[in-house]
């Protein structure tokens, strides 16, 4: 049953993708790091833009109470994390959402955010288009 649900999620994500963005921006290596006790989960992925510059403006998932674009940085020797309104994806360029940099911050993760599972995420862009991506859920060690 679990495998059937995961297959349905993947199929729905592929069918609901916006053709304009799906043809222009490629998403790869999408995964969440699930932490115990309902702590926020970090989402990581790579974007490759094969078209004109676009701006990632948001993300949504039913697996999160709230899903935000975030960035980690070191300022004055102190690590900090902050929400960002958008992330530019240059024409012909790549952007990596990875530990220590840009990432998705999932607060209030639901039981779907369990290692070994998969959760759908809708990424939205400044031109009003969106694409659905299925994220693998890994444990705190990223495995």
Q: What is the pLDDT of residues 69-126, one digit of tens each?
A: 999 988 888 889 999 999 999 999 999 999 999 999 999 999 999 999 999 999 999 9
Average pLDDT over residues 34-40: 92
Report the run of H or E that residue 32 belongs to, with start and end: strand 25-33
| Domain 2-138 part of CATH 2.60.40.1890 | yes
Structure confidence at residue 18 as a pLDDT band (50, 70, 90)? very low
Higher pLDDT residue, 38 or 11? 38
The pTM for the full model equals 0.82
Backbone angles phi, psi at 2, to 5 degrees: -60, -45
Q: What pLDDT score was predicted for residue 14?
A: 42
Structure confidence at residue 32 as a pLDDT band (50, 70, 90)? very high
- Residue-averaged pLDDT of the chain: 87
Q: What pLDDT score was predicted for residue 83?
A: 95
How many whole angstroms separate alpha carbon 62 and alpha carbon 66? Answer: 9
CB 72 within 8 A of CB 101: yes
How many whole angstroms separate alpha carbon 21 and alpha carbon 8? Answer: 22
**DSSP alpha helix (H) spans, the chain:** 2-16, 19-24
What are the boundaries of each domain within the chain? 2-138
How many whole angstroms separate alpha carbon 73 and alpha carbon 108? Answer: 23
What tokens does 92 get?
Answer: 């012909």
């Amino acid at each position: 049953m679990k495998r059937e649900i995961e297959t349905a999620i993947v199929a729905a994500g592929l069918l609901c993708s916006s053709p304009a963005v799906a043809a222009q921006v490629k998403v790869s290596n999408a995964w969440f790091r699930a932490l115990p006790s309902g702590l926020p989960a970090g989402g990581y992925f790579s974007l490759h833009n094969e078209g004109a510059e676009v701006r990632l403006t948001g993300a949504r998932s039913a697996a999160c109470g709230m899903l935000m674009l975030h960035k980690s940085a070191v300022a004055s020797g102190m690590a900090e994390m902050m929400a960002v309104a958008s992330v530019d994806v240059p024409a012909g360029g790549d952007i990596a959402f990875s530990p220590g940099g840009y990432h998705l911050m999932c607060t209030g993760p639901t039981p779907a955010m369990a290692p070994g599972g998969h959760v759908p995420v809708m990424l939205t862009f400044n031109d009003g288009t969106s694409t659905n991506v299925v994220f693998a859920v890994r444990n705190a060690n990223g495995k």
